[in-house]
Structure 1
Amino acid sequence: MIKLLLVDDSELITGGLAVLLGVETDLTIVDCVDRGERAVELCQHQPIDVVLMDVRMPGMSGVEATKIITETTNAKVIILTTFDEDKYIIEGIKNGAVGYLLKNTEPQQLVQAIRSVMKGQSILSQDVLEKAKQGFHPAQKTADLSSLTPREIEITRLVAAGLSNKQIANRLYLTEGTINNSLSTILHKLALEHRTQVAIYYLTGKAGDHDATF
């Protein structure tokens, strides 16, 4: 059973998510809170597997709460954002978020994202990728993939296109284990930490460092 914490200062959002996710037999909602501080406290005092985190809330923001939660607990954070919050994308990822989805994501896609992060994958919706791409002005810098083999570059391209490891394996007629190993090698060569950073780096040439311009 995957234990969820819903964090949003809108009861309409948390209530709607609770109804949508509550029908899934492998998900259980531990609590719904409206403050980043409360989310941190809950994660530090009881087992939470996945946090669905709003960005803008009174007091501690979602990206601030994400940093504390990921540094002090085992909970995985998926940030839920709206189109006008793209400036937080890299900050959220830098603070440890393993997923970044729009609030209008289809329910089944959200459920799949929750299950995917529990398997160690990172999730970034294609719409959010586009926002990152536009915000970084990719023409200013091109990703340096010279350390990668042609096959690794192709895998990187497919990761940036939003494909899962299983989908990439099917596309390239390889085993999923081979893709997992190749992605680990790609992360090491590019000095990145997870697939979300790989996607952003491929699209923008930037890895979300402190010099990123929004």
Structure 2
Amino acid sequence: MTSVLLVDDQQLVRSGFRLILELEDDLTVVGEAADGAAGVEAARALRPDVVLMDVQMPVVDGIEATRRVVAEGTSRVLVLTTFDDDAYVFDALAAGASGFLLKNADPDHLVDAVRTVASGHALLSPEVTRRVVERMVAGGAAPRTTDAPAVAAGPVAAAPEPAGGPAPGLDRLTARERQVLEQVGRGLSNAEIAGVLFLGEATVKTHVSNVLAKLHLRDRVQAVVYVHRHGLAG
């Protein structure tokens, strides 16, 4: 059972999220908070697997609250907002959020996002992923990964190489792992990669974990950036 804490200053939003999540047999909402400070305290007391965090809230905003929750080391944070703005995306990632999703996402996407973040993976909506890649490949401001929670696949990555530089660690990958990496760079899910490469989904998952470990990448978002930064997308 995955436990979830809802942090949002709008009661109606919290009620809607609770209704969506508690329809699932494997998800349970263990608490709610109406501002960032209360959310931090609730996360400390309840130790949920995932915190759904709004951005604009009174007392303490969602970005700072995310930073404090991540520092506790017990919960992963999925940031949800109505504001489709680059600044929020990069601030949330810099604060250590494991995911960023717009509130206009379908209920199924919200449920999948909670499960993805709870399992230790990073999650960004497709449009957000594109902007992360564009910003980092262009050499603009990038999220700091050293404060973010590490996943089981490998250690936290160092700062990315300048665009167009050599692809560090690529020679450590097998031919199949490189194929999988290229598909991750296209934004494909494990199931989609399995279909493209005619592999089992569990096999793809293993390859992805190996790729992240060998390249010292924290998550799939860093893998996407790696592929585009080093011209491996084809």
TM-score, reference length from structure 2? 0.74
Amino acid at match of 1:145: A
1:147 aligns with 2:172: no
* Unmatched segments (≥5 aa) in structure 2: 141-162
Change (3 A) 1:66 1:99: same
Q: CA RMSD in A?
A: 2.7
Q: CA deviation at 1:134?
A: 4.5
Give 3-state SS (helix, strand or coil) of 1:84's partner. coil
Structure 2 distance, partners of 1:174, 1:186, is 16
Match status 1:169 vs 2:194: yes
Q: Which residue identity lines up with residue 222 of structure 2 in the other structure?
A: Q
Q: Deviation at 1:51?
A: 0.9
Instruction: State the secondary structure of the residue aligned to 1:32.
Output: strand
Give the structure with the larger helix fraction. Answer: 1
| Counterparts of residues 75-90 of structure 1 (less than 5 Å) | 75-90=75-90
Q: Residue type matched to 1:171 in 2?
A: V
Q: 1:146 to 1:136 in 2, by over 3 A?
A: closer
Percent identity over the alignment is: 38
User: Which runs of 5 or more structure 1 residues have no equivalent in the other structure?
Assistant: 206-214
The 10-residue stretch of structure 1 (67-76 or 146-155) with the greater mean CA deviation from structure 2: 146-155
Change (3 A) 1:177 1:137: closer
Q: Could you say what secondary structure the match of 1:4 adopts?
A: strand
Once the two structures are superposed, residues 181-206 of structure 1 have per-residue CA deviations (whole angstroms, 9 ceiling, x without a partner) of 4333432444321122222443467x
C-alpha contact (below 8 Å) 1:98/1:196 kept by paired residues: no
Aligned pair 1:179/2:201, yes or no?
A: no
Would you say 1:122 and 2:144 are equivalent positions? no
Asked if 2 retains the 8 angstrom alpha-carbon contact of 1:143 and 1:203, the reply is no
Are 1:40 and 1:69, in contact at CA under 8 Å, matched by a contact in 2? yes
In 2, distance between residues paired with 1:6 and 1:142? 41
Q: Relative to 1, partners in 2 of residues 1:97 and 1:180: Cα closer, same or farther, differing over 3 Å?
A: same
Q: What residue number does 2:111 align with?
A: 111
Contact 1:126/1:161 (<8 A) preserved: no
Q: Deviations over 1:19-67 (max 9, x none)?
A: 2223223222122212111111111112311111112222322222222
Alignment of 1:1-214 (within 5 A): 1-136=1-136, 138=138, 141-142=163-164, 144-145=166-167, 147-148=169-170, 149=173, 151-203=176-228
